[in-house]
Structure formats: structure tokens, C-alpha cells
Amino acid sequence: MPACDELSEVSVPEDDATQAPASDTKGLAWREASVGTLSFWDKDGEWLKTIYLGQMPSYRKLNLVSRLEKEFAAVHQERPDLRVVLASDGAPTQWEELRSLADRVLGDKPRTELLDFFHGAARLGSAAKAIWGTSEDATVVGEHWKVILREKARGAMLVLKALDYQRSVAPPTVAKEITKSMNYLARQKKEGRLEYAAAKRDKLPIGTGVTEAAAKTLVTVRMKRSGARYSDHGGQTILTLRAALLSGRFAAFSEELESSYTLPVAA
């Protein structure tokens, strides 16, 4: 029953007047809220449960990482036999924090790292579009590359070779776009995060759809509304309540909250 740790982020307005807006934001200050998930699958690859976490902005998402680590450590202490999969997009900071978190909890125990397949597939689609534009060839070849990446034991190497050939015969402007996709995929391959065929064989999840959905459910749908702005405290309150509800913990959370704000009243 593999566990999957993931990080993702979406943009959230916030009202910290000390946060200087970027020069192109026309006076609108905003920072990024983050979500993390700890998910469980059975031996047949069927999803079982997800623990959701939402966090208002913090440097390198360290507040979120700290909370995710506590959840992960509690699960690992109870079930050290579970296989661990770390999954995220290609953001270096997120991978650095996930690896650091896993090292602290697991020590030198093995873990699997996977780039979200759909982020990798999107790079292949971008390369195909750079070569063939919006033609049917771009769609067909792009999808073919995605199948190779996902299904073949050496899929990453095969698609990189195909891209390298196309780059060698492409005009400079197109070659530049192909190189961007190649560099992205080559970095992930070097880290061992493109072993999708092996992951599918072991019935592991290869996408971060649970986390992407968490970002939408926790933050986007509720908080990204026209004119909405939040203090750190107000925004965190919303995220905490929604995460507790989605994680199936709302009753326990309510009891704990009630006990924290209850005092005996003298007769």
C-alpha cells in the first residue's frame, strides 16, 4: 500500500501591505498558498484515502513541509512496511523539500521519486507543436511520444533520442524550443523520476491528480474569487477547516476545537 507525498501551489491574493508587489502587478500584491497531500493506495493500485493540508504563504513552503512531515512520520511509525512514493512537478524547490523531508523520516530507507506524468507529457506536446505547429502530425507524434514515455522500459531515453534528432534537422528557432523540453526531461531522467513503466508494473500512481484536485478544492474554488483578499490568519482558518473536512477529520477537529475554547462556569 504505497504512500505518496506531494506538493503543489496556486496563487492566492493576500492583504499584507508589507509585501511589495512586483513591478508588473499594477499595485496588486499577491503570494502563493500551498497544498500537500499524503495519499494511500492498495496493492492493486486502487486509491484508498488522502490526507489534505493547506497552508498560507511561507518561505520555501516550510510551514507546509513541517506539517506534512509530521503526518508522514506518524504514518511511517505505525506502518513502516508501506512503500513510499514522492511525487511532484518539476519545481526544484519542491523536490528539495520533499527529499529533505523523506530523509528525516526514512533515513536511508528506499523511496521512489516520480515526476507527475502529465507535466512530462506536456513538454512532449510542446516540442511536437514547435516542430509541426497545430497540424495533425503534431498531435499524432506528440501522443506517440507520450505512450513511449509511459509504457516503454527505456521510454525516457527513446523520446530524448527522438527529440535530439528533430532538433538536429530543425531551424534554430524551433531547435531552441525543442532544447527547452529536452533539458527539462533530461534533468528529471537524471534524478530517476521518469521510470513510469516500472511504476505501472508495480501499480504505483504516476500522476499528481490528487494534489492538483486538492489545490482546486482547497484554494481555487473557495478563495480565488473576484476581489477576495485574506490575512494570513483568515486564509489559514479557511484552509484548515476545508482540509479537515476533505480528510474525514472534521468531527475530531470540531471536538478538539470545542475543548480548546471551553471553560467550566461556576454555579
> Which domains does the chain carry?
3-116+207-260 (3.30.420), 118-190 (no CATH)
Residue with cell 500551498: 34
As a whole number of angstroms, the distance between CA 38 and CA 6 comes to 7
**DSSP character at residue 126:** H
- Give pTM, 2 decimals: 0.84
Angle between helices 92-106 and 62-78 (to 10 degrees): 30
Per-residue pLDDT of the chain (267 residues; tens, 9 = 90+): 444 555 554 444 433 333 333 445 454 556 788 999 999 999 999 999 999 999 998 888 899 999 999 999 999 999 999 999 999 998 899 999 999 999 999 999 999 999 999 999 999 999 999 999 999 999 999 999 999 999 999 999 999 999 999 999 999 999 999 999 999 999 999 999 999 999 999 999 999 999 999 999 999 888 888 888 888 999 999 999 999 999 999 999 999 888 888 888 888
Grid coordinates of 125: 506536446
- Beta carbons of 33 and 70 less than 8 angstroms apart: no
| Nearest one of 18, 39, 27 to 212, comparing CA atoms | 39
Specify the pairing of strand 30-41 against strand 3-13. Answer: antiparallel
Give the strand order in the sheet containing 84-88. 47-55, 30-41, 3-13, 84-88, 112-115
| DSSP alpha helix (H) spans, 133-218 | 136-151, 155-169, 172-190, 196-201, 209-214
Q: Render 87-122 in DSSP notation, one character per residue.
A: EE-S-HHHHHHHHHHHHHHHTT---EEEE-HHHHHH
